[in-house]
Amino acid sequence: MAATAITSVPQGAHDEMEQWEEFLVGRYKEGKSEQEFRQYDAEANPGVAEFYRLNHQHQTFDYVQQKEKEYFSLNKGKKSIWQAAEFLNTLVDDSDPDTDLTQIEHLLQTSEAIRRDGHPRWFVLTGFIHDLGKVLCLWGEPQWGVVGDTFPVGCAYSNQIVFPEYFKANLDLNHPVYSTKYGIYEPNCGLDNVHMSFGHDGYIYEVMKPYLPQPALAMLRYHSFYAWHRHDAYQHLMNDHDREMLEWVRKFNPYDLYSKGHTKPDFKQLKPYYDDLFAEFFPAEIDW
């Protein structure tokens, strides 16, 4: 089905997204040595480093508040899940058809890997929808504001966030409250009460809130929060619910990172299964 009202697809959007995703897979490659780990620095990855420089500079508490106001009321219209996925697919240009997987193919590879491992249907569904928030790109949001690691704002930035040195250019670093350990938050207030840097994760979480169980929502909201789910940062903001959810987020992460294969999923053959799955959890169209 045709995607609606795309004004323009940002130039290079897909390339940067791919670069970031390849960087993540490399950064968290299983069984990687310390030496290999260090290769994931600015010199080895100038494009990714530049991307994070912009992200860390601009993701301030004020920026996040402004974007939450703009998007979290879900006033971008109604779309079915397939329409959102098709819309997202327009991000892929036709420059290199045999190496690039489309966004829908990445979603299907993730969800099919979850399905093969016998996980519940809501988990398979979460695999399919987890990156649909990238539709933000098509509404003109910059790459650094759509993808990339996410982290709390309104309190001190952790050293466990990738390229922490780039926070030097972030205005909140000198803010009397936002620069402190707890910032505007209470100790162990729970991550539900914490504002996260703006991106596709937080946005898809808002879209899906009425429809999915808590572990699914945690997987959506925190799947790029690597400082937390890989590096144990921000324990001081966690409550018991977060500790329970962390296990689920960790269960999800390998499917996101490592399910990419070279065989393209057979969309036609899989479609009926997903039609049923969407009908089980969603009305025909939902608010975006």
Tell me the closest approach of the beta carbon of residue 65 to Fe ion, in angstroms: 22
Tell me the closest approach of the beta carbon of residue 194 to Fe ion, in angstroms: 19
Q: Closer CB to Fe ion, residue 112 or residue 131?
A: 131
Please choose, from the candidates 238, 217, 240, the residue with its C-alpha nearest in 3D space to the C-alpha of residue 227: 238
Q: Closer CB to Fe ion, residue 123 or residue 185?
A: 123
Q: Tell me which residue has tokens 């707890």.
A: 182
How many chain residues touch Fe ion (CB under 5 A)?
A: 2
Tell me the closest approach of the beta carbon of residue 108 to Fe ion, in angstroms: 11
Q: Closer CB to Fe ion, residue 175 or residue 251?
A: 251
Q: Closer CB to Fe ion, residue 149 or residue 256?
A: 256
Tell me the closest approach of the beta carbon of residue 188 to Fe ion, in angstroms: 27
Tell me the closest approach of the beta carbon of residue 133 to Fe ion, in angstroms: 7
Tell me the closest approach of the beta carbon of residue 187 to Fe ion, in angstroms: 29
Task: State whether the Cα torsion 126-5-286-201 is positive or negative.
Answer: positive
Residues 123-152 that bind Fe ion (CB under 5 A): 131
Distances (CA, A) of 127 to 49, 66, 80: 28, 29, 17
Please choose, from the candidates 4, 39, 35, 7, the residue with its C-alpha nearest in 3D space to the C-alpha of residue 23: 39
Q: Does 256 bind Fe ion (CB under 5 A)?
A: yes
Alpha-carbon distance 137 to 104, whole Å?
Answer: 15
Draw the binding track, 208-247, toward Fe ion (x: CB under 5 A; -: no contact). Answer: ----------------------------------------
Point out which span in 65-73, 90-98, 175-183, 252-260 binds Fe ion (CB under 5 A): 252-260
Q: Closer CB to Fe ion, residue 150 or residue 170?
A: 150
Tell me the closest approach of the beta carbon of residue 117 to Fe ion, in angstroms: 17
Q: Closer CB to Fe ion, residue 185 or residue 226?
A: 226
Q: Does 112 bind Fe ion (CB under 5 A)?
A: no
Q: Closer CB to Fe ion, residue 99 or residue 174?
A: 99
Tell me the closest approach of the beta carbon of residue 171 to Fe ion, in angstroms: 26
Q: Tell me which residue has tokens 């030496």.
A: 35
Point out which span in 8-16, 138-146, 183-191, 250-258 binds Fe ion (CB under 5 A): 250-258
Q: Closer CB to Fe ion, residue 128 or residue 185?
A: 128
183 conformational bin, left if phi > 0, alpha if psi -120 to 50, beta if neither: left
Contact positions vs Fe ion (CB under 5 A): 131, 256
